[in-house]
């Protein structure tokens, strides 16, 4: 039975994740006390018409009960026939504060910290640190729209789980913030910039003309070859260590030209190698009027 523990920072998108998981066929329980995890898993496994896909949200809303979550997770890992994975959602402090201001909802620790949202967030982040380190899947939602977050969840869990690793290859613009969810980050700002070619400026790396320009330089082709060699060496090692998700990010100034070009080319290379690949361009639609790259 596939058993997903959904956790992470308050305001990071856990409710959205649970809604998507329910939509794609998971039996979902929100805000379950950690002490009930093993009992609930046992019920699901031995119920008439055994459940095959289950997701539970466990987070700081449990209060002091949350202190036992790590111990209960270890107990779940020891149950035969139960494939336990942790999905951890993250967002930076500024985004979380903004989201709470927009929704006008109270943080779960609001009363405990006398309405100090900064203190509540810091305490929650510390409490969740062990689960964050143990997470099989990690999504940083600070720069994702609701639709982008939904697509990421679907890409991860729409199919039955397998031993193969999901590889996410993404582009981003440094002017909008470095990708913090990534395992590997490649800065391609060292390459010639199509922004300075007038007819290419409004286009993106998804356009063949931009891609041909970027890859028309020897240093771009050399860098691409070296990145392919590195990934061909690293990915089998990650799989051997049991990593479920690998996030590879390419960054340029605005996330429009060079980073997208490399994301597209590397994605194609990994697909040709037989890997499961999810591709995304975080900042492709930002600041389109200015045509920044």
* Pairing mode of beta strands 276-281, 166-173: parallel
For 155, the token pair is: 């890409």
Rounded to the nearest angstrom, the gap between the alpha carbon of residue 275 and the centroid of all alpha carbons in its chain is: 18
Classified as helix, coil or strand, 277 is strand
For 258, the token pair is: 């060079």
Number of alpha helices (DSSP H) and beta strands (DSSP E) in the chain: 10, 9
- CA dist 1 and 12 (Å) reads 26
DSSP-derived secondary structure for 206-224: TSHHHHHHHTTSHHHHHHH
CB 79 within 8 A of CB 38: yes
Query: What residue segments make up the domains of the chain, in order of their start?
Result: 2-157, 166-281
Report pLDDT for 67: 87
- CA dist 256 and 261 (Å) reads 9
pLDDT profile of the chain (293 residues), mean per 10: 94 93 90 92 82 92 89 90 93 93 89 89 93 92 88 77 71 92 95 94 95 97 98 90 85 96 97 91 79 44
Nearest by Cα to 262 from 217, 219, 218, 227: 227
Place of tokens 């494939």: 83
Rounded to the nearest angstrom, the gap between the alpha carbon of residue 200 and the centroid of all alpha carbons in its chain is: 31
Report pLDDT for 288: 61
Q: Which CATH number fits domain 2-157: 3.40.50.300, 3.90.420.10, 3.20.20.60, 1.20.1250.20?
A: 3.40.50.300
Contacts of residue 198, defined as CB under 8 A and 6 or more positions apart, other chains included, come to none
- Which residues partner with 278 through β-bridges? 168
pTM beyond 0.85, yes or no: no
Place of tokens 């800065």: 187
Nearest by Cα to 27 from 11, 8, 47: 47
Contacts of residue 225, defined as CB under 8 A and 6 or more positions apart, other chains included, come to none
């Amino acid at each position: 039975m596939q058993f997903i523990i959904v956790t992470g920072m308050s305001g990071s998108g856990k409710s959205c994740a649970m809604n998507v998981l329910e939509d794609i066929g998971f039996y979902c329980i929100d805000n379950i006390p950690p002490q009930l995890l093993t009992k609930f898993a046992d019920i699901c496994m031995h119920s008439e018409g055994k459940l095959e896909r289950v997701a539970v949200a466990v987070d700081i809303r449990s209060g002091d009960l949350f202190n036992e979550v790590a111990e209960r997770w270890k107990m779940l890992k020891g149950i035969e026939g139960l494939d336990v994975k942790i999905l951890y959602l993250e967002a930076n402090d500024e985004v979380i504060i903004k989201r709470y201001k927009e929704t006008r909802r109270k943080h779960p620790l609001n009363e405990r910290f006398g309405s100090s949202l900064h203190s509540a967030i810091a305490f929650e982040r510390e409490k969740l640190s062990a689960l964050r380190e143990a997470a099989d899947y990690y999504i940083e939602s600070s720069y994702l729209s609701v639709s982008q977050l939904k697509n990421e969840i679907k890409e991860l869990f729409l199919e039955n789980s397998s031993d193969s690793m999901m590889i996410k290859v993404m582009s981003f613009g440094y002017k909008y913030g470095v990708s913090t969810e990534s395992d590997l980050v490649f800065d391609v700002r060292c390459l010639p910039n199509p922004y300075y070619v007038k007819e290419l400026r409004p286009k993106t790396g998804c356009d063949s003309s931009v891609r041909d320009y970027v890859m028309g330089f020897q240093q771009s082709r050399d860098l691409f070859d070296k990145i392919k060699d590195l990934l061909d060496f690293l990915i089998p090692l990650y799989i051997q260590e049991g990593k479920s998700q690998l996030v590879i990010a390419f960054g340029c100034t605005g996330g429009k030209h060079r980073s997208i070009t490399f994301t597209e080319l590397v994605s194609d290379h990994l697909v040709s190698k037989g890997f499961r690949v999810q591709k995304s361009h975080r900042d492709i639609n930002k600041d389109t009027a200015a045509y920044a790259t």
